[in-house]
Structures are given as C-alpha cells and as structure tokens.
Structure 1
Amino acid sequence: MLEASLKTQMQSYMERISQPIEITANLDSGAKSQELRELLQEIAAMSDRITLVEGSDDAQRKPSFTIARTGTDISVTFAGIPMGHEFTSLVLALLQVGGHPIKLDEAVIEQIRNLDGDYNFETYFSLSCQNCPDVVQALNVMSIINPRIRHVAIDGALYQSEVDERQIMSVPTIYLNGEKFGQGRSSVEEILAQLDSGAGARKAEALNAKEPFDVLIVGGGPAGAAAAVYAARKGIRTGVVAERFGGQVLDTMAIENFISVKETEGPRFAAALEEHVKAYDVDIMNVQRATKLVTGGNLVEVQLESGATLKGKTVILATGARWREINVPGEQEYRNAGVAYCPHCDGPLFKGKRVAVIGGGNSGVEAAIDLAGVVAHVTLIEFGDELRADAVLQRKLRSLPNVDIIVSAQTTEIHGDGKKVNGLSYTDRKSGESRKVELEGVFIQIGLVPNTEWLKDTVSLTRYGEIEVDAKGQTSIPGVFAAGDVTTVPYKQIIIACGDGAKAALGAFDHLIRSSVDMPAEAETATA
C-alpha cells in the first residue's frame, strides 16, 4: 500500500520506537477494512516492537484501530485510514506511543498531567484538510501524556452517517464527552485554555511581569517571524506575541512561489518559520490576542485580551489579514453549518451535494475546480461582469460539466432551515431580478481584510484599514513599525511579507540606535 520511498522513510522512523506497542485493528469485510489491514500489516513488519492484533466484533467503528503502549493505558485511536494530510499524525502517534519524546514545553506537559477529570474527545477530519492534523496531533499528544484523556480521530468522509447525524459541515470539529467542543484549527495551548479555567489568569500574570522588550512584534506570520529573526540577530531583547504562530499561512494549501522552495504546504512552512525563530533568543508568547495599542510615553504598550500588558521600546505590527466576509444575512448564522472559507478542508463533507463559490478571482476559481471533483454541482457567483482569474484557470473551469458560472451577480442572502444552509439568493445586477439557488454549501472566496480593528485612533490607516508605512516600515507613530499584509505595501505575497518583516526589524533597530535608549554594546556591532 505504501510507495517504496515512503516505506523506506517510515522504516527509519519506526527504528526510533523504544517501547513495545500493540495495534488493535477493528475490521469488517469491506474494501476500506482490507485497505487498512494491508497498511497496518506493512507498519507492523517494520519493527519487532510492534504487534498487530484483530479486535472484537462489537467495535463501535469499522474500520478503525488503536495504538497502545503495551502494558499501559496509553493509547490513541483512528477511525479510518489516516493517509493524506493525516499520515504525519499516524507516524507521530506510533512514535509517541512508542516512547519517542514529545516536543512540548515542560510547563505545558505538566499542565496536561494536572488536568482533573475524564475527557473523551472525538475529532472529525478530512484527509484533504491541512488544518485538521494540528488538532488530531494535539489531542493525541494530550491523551499520551494524561491517560484520563481519550481521543479518537474520525474520517468524516468515511463515516458520513455520523457526520449527517451530528450535522457536521466543517472540519476539524471536536466533540468532548458527546458535546460539541470546538471547530477549526486548535493548538495544545488553545485546547488547554478551554479545559483549564485558571490558565488564562496565570498566563496574564506571567506576561505582566515581563520586562520591556527592545522590539515587541505583534503577529507570528511570515512578516512577524522574519522581523523576529532579524531583530534577534542584532542582539536585542525580542518578543513575539501572536494569536497563533504561523498566521494565515496555516490556512494555505500550497505554496509554490517562495524563491528557493519549489513547493511546500502552508502548515509545513509555518512550522519551519517557528523552528527558525526558536533558533534565536526570542520570547514567543502564543495564543494571545492584542486588543489595544497605547503610545505617548517612552514605551509602547500592547494590551491583550487576557488582561495582560506587554511593553516595548519599539513595536512592529504584523497582524496580517483574514478571509473577507460578504456580510449578508445568513453568513454568520450558518458559519460552519454550510458557510465555509476553506474548500480543501471542508469540501469532502459536501460530497454529492450542491454548493456555491462566491468570488471569481484565482482563489474562487481554484476552489470551484477543486470542489467540482467532489460535489455534485458547483455554482460560481461573481459580482463583476467577468471572471478575474488567470486565463488558464478559467479554461479549466469552463471545461467542467458540473459547473455553472454566474457573473454580474450580487449575493444578497444565505438561507437555511435553522440548522444548516439550504439556499442562496442573489440579484442580477443587469436586470435587477432577484433569484434563488437551492444548495447545501456556500464557499466564500473574495479576498482578505487587514486585522487592524484594534488599531483605530492610533496609527494612520487607509480607508481599506491598511496601516500606512514609509519605505522603512515606519508608521505614523515614531517607534511603531508595521510589516506584511496588514500594511499598504502592494502585492500580498508570503515572500514580500518576509522581506517587509526584515525591513521593519532593521528600521526598528535603526530607531533604537538613533533614540536616547541605551543599547547593549554587543547589539551595536552585530551584523544582519
């Protein structure tokens, strides 16, 4: 089942297993069970520390399998065949159950161990979802550290009846003890914050106690990461505070135009960014949302949603952008209940159904092409008089038999039955007629909006909400710089954001040198 090169690579990983593990397979006579049997047999043959057994006939889900550390209650369970984006989750589960060290801060590990109570998690994923592995791997790790936490990762496409019964229309979707717990990408720290009610207050207290940074970077995407590296290399005290390290890159399926990297995936690129930043003396404060910028004194303050306040002699704003919403009735009501923004993640949940894609640019047309291979029918709706996507994408789209294209159309409402989407209304901008399309899903792909709501009445913003910057990344406030998609810099690209981040860090360093701030001697001689 595994290709030769992948099998060789996995063989080397299995050599790192130090504790005996037992894989219990729950199978029936179906084709998917046979496929899973072949995969597990190949894995078991890779190490004499792996034993494969068949489970009982009364297992809840077939095909499924459990990886357990022999003689202990440490285990993780997969319901389905974790290939695609979840293959890494499978490899990590084998290694970690098998005794390989878990890469988490000791304080986080201790917090997981100290959780009081029994937690039974279920995560519904799709194999094409690049956000799902983060959740699956986070909960797997937590269940390995604390056996009172149990986790089963479920392929929603394979267990469609469960998806329909629970009306799951977005992945990853997490259930805890039978009740919906959360949707979307979540890290270990974010999950812990929901389970441990006192964690936020303890974290805020620790953040308040931190000394002022020479450079405080708000945002952990490509711009923020590049700024952190360049600032740290100057030998100055550098901190990064981010809602989620990696930013929008985490939601990017494929990256093919970052010079020197022929192709990669967003989450993999984000992990490389974080690894690079951690190679330097940078204080990373993750899962923290900035709510206010306070200027006017010798230090710039950044107030956080947790109640904490961080201070910096200079600040670099790199908060990036998010998916733009169409702001029509029904969008918020049916978000994650038929309204989606990631076709790669949620597309498989709409197999055999009718969906719409709103947006005729490259992202919208690419989404429609991808979805056409999964769903029954796609209606692409574009506000303008013609599609704006590249010609090659338009030709591909028009060649698909299950796609309708509607231009000069303004979406006016998304309809539902109170639980999920069942239609969409639009106005023909030429005739003025209102029309309705019956469907089960709406994918919105109309661009990005900068994350600057919290900055109003501070730095100068354009009417589009972008931070105005000069050639050095300086904003309207001395000592406050900005970089990346959140600024007026044209062409929102990862490689441009990285360059912007480096430029802003150098600009901040230059500002520190020319101000009255006392700089460490080693910083003055450091090189970029």
Structure 2
Amino acid sequence: MKQLLTPDVTQQIKEVLKMMENPIQVILFTKPDCDTCQPTLQLLEEVSILNDKITFVERSLTDDKAEADAYGVSYAPTFVILDQNGNFKNFRFNGIPAGHEINSLITALIDSSSTKPFFDEKTLKRLEKVDKDINIKVFVTLSCPHCPGAVSNAFRLAMTNPNITADAFEAQTFNELSMKYNVSSVPKIIINDQYEFLGNQPIDAFLAEIEKVK
C-alpha cells in the first residue's frame, strides 16, 4: 500500500514528535460503510509508529459501542486520545486529519502527552470559573491554513477544564452536519449550539462566548 506521508513529511513529523513528554493512546473508531475510515486508519498508523510514546488502536463504532459511548463518539472516523493514566482528554477529531489538519493531529498528540499548562494565569483563572457543561464544535476543511489553530485552542480548553468537551469536524466528510450548522466559511466555531464565530480567534474570543452560556 502506498504511503500517504512523503518521506520528507514523515521525517519532519518524527522530529516534531520528539517534543512529546509522556505516553499516550490514540483510539480510532471506524465503521464498514465509511469512505474515509481506511485512509484515516492508514494515516494514524503511519504517524503513530514515528514515536514509541504513541500506542494506536482501532475500534468499531458498532461492535465497541460501550467504549465509543464512554468517549462521546457518535461518528466515524473519529479519534480520541487518552493520557498516560488512561484519562480521556475530552476532545474528539471527527474526520481525516490530512492536509492542513495534520497540524491539528500533531499538536493534539504533543499536547496530550504534556503536563504543563497551556494558558497564562489570567486565562486559567477565567477557565476555572466555567462550571457549566460546554461543548465546542470546530468545523474545518483540509485546505484551510487557519483551521488548525482554532482546533488546538478548542482542544486545549477541553484538556484544561473537565466541564468542556471539544469536537473538530472535517466539513466535507460530515456534509449533513455542515449544512445543519450553516457552515459556509471555516473555521466555524459553535459553543453549545447557541453561540458561534468564525476564524482562528484568540483564546479570549472563545472564553467570551463560553461565558455567555447561562
């Protein structure tokens, strides 16, 4: 089978993944009637073998439904990450993390292996006050250079506060969802299906919308 990653890109990713601190597990949920599941499986396999801190497993969305439900996984392909203690990192990437979204994948791997805070003291104090259940959806396309920044911000918020979950959706794979949420530009960020904004905005913009939730 032809490699999805070129030798140059493979080497670049291998170098960047040296920033990983602790072991993690990547779990990919797939299903039979899924055009992008096989390439997503291959891509994650190619990336996972580049660092021995990454353990990669495939699960069935239907046969392993209890496990999928435990991580809030409803779609395929979707991957989640567990830290070295087996804790779910509170985010899901729905779709194939190819194109520019390879950056979202690599950042998620490194961030999930880290124990360091992602934000400054002021931001952390604001985040501590978020005590309601928050879900952040980020719609992306593989050709969007600004989308990985928005995905990483959403994922880092979810990794920092247990009340927050984050979902990245590759808009083309999940076209029906994209239509439901009127996605015409990306990245499009939606908070609790109530508040939305566009673009790779700073963390303050995310928090401003999150703090509107009553």
TM-score (norm 2): 0.82
Instruction: Give runs of aligned pairs for residues 356-505 of structure 1, distance below 5 A.
Output: none
Task: Looking at secondary structure, tell me which structure has more helix per residue.
Answer: 2
> What is the aligned partner in structure 2 of residue 38 from structure 1?
42
Deviation at 1:97, TM superposition (A): 0.5
Contact kept, 8 Å, 2:77 with 2:95, in 1: the verdict is yes
Deviation at 1:7, TM superposition (A): 0.9
Q: What is the deviation of 1:15? A: 2.5
CA distance in 1, matches of 2:118, 2:182: 35
In structure 2, stretches of 5+ residues that fail to align are 63-72
Please state whether the residue corresponding to 1:42 is helix, strand or coil.
Answer: helix
1:319-374 per-position Cα deviation (integer Å, ceiling 9, x unaligned): xxxxxxxxxxxxxxxxxxxxxxxxxxxxxxxxxxxxxxxxxxxxxxxxxxxxxxxx
Give, in whole Å, the separation in 1 of the partners of 2:179 and 2:55: 35
Distance in 1 (CA, whole Å) between partners of 2:206 and 2:169 is 18
In 2, Cα distance between the equivalents of 1:7 and 1:147? 33
**Percent of residue pairs bearing the same amino acid type:** 26
Q: Are residues 1:105 and 2:108 paired? A: no
Offset of 1:4 from its aligned partner? 0.8
Q: Secondary structure at the match of 1:61?
A: coil
2:186 pairs with 1:171 = yes
* 1:96–1:102 CA contact under 8 A, matched in 2: no
CA, structure 1 residues 76+183, in 2 after alignment: closer, same or farther (shift >3 Å)?
A: same
1:425-455, Cα deviation, whole Å (9 max, x unpaired): xxxxxxxxxxxxxxxxxxxxxxxxxxxxxxx
- What TM-score does the superposition give when structure 1 sets the normalisation length? 0.35
Higher gyration radius (CA): 1
Q: Does 1:54 align with 2:69?
A: no
Aligned residue for 2:132, secondary structure, equals: coil
Which amino acid in the other structure matches residue 61 of structure 1? Y
Shift of 1:106: 2.7
SS in 2 for 1:15: helix
The one-letter amino acid paired with 1:83 is: A
Any conservation in 1 of the 2:80–2:88 contact (CA below 8 Å)? no
Q: Distance in 1 between matches of 2:98 and 2:202?
A: 21
Between the two structures, name the one with larger relative contact order (CA 8 Å, sep ≥ 6).
2
Check if 1:137 corresponds to 2:141.
Answer: no
Q: Among 146, 163, 172, which residue is 1:148 paired with?
A: 163
Q: Against the structure 1 CA distance between its residues 5 and 75, is the aligned structure 2 distance closer, same or farther, given a 3 Å change threshold?
A: farther
Please, which moves more after superposition, 152-161 or 184-193?
A: 184-193
Q: Report the CA distance shift for 1:148/1:90 in structure 2 as closer, same or farther (over 3 A).
A: same
Contact 1:68 1:97 in 2 (8 A): yes
CA distance in 2, matches of 1:13, 1:87: 12
Deviation readout 1:138-175 (Å, 9 max, x if unpaired): 11111111122111100111111211233322222222
> CA shift at 1:65, angstroms?
0.8
Residues 273-316 of structure 1: per-residue CA shift (max 9 Å, x gap): xxxxxxxxxxxxxxxxxxxxxxxxxxxxxxxxxxxxxxxxxxxx
- The aligned amino acid for 2:25 is E
SS in 1 for 2:184: coil
Matched with 1:24 is 27
Task: Return the offset for 1:102.
Answer: 5.1
User: 1:24 is paired with a residue of what secondary structure?
Assistant: strand
Measured after TM superposition, the shift of residue 100 of structure 1 is 6.2
Count of residues in Structure 1 that have an aligned counterpart in Structure 2: 197
Q: AA paired with 1:119?
A: I
1:173–1:35 Cα change, 3 Å: same
Amino acid at match of 2:29: N
Q: Name which of 105, 114, 138 aligns with 1:123.
A: 138
Q: Which amino acid aligns with 2:209?
A: Q
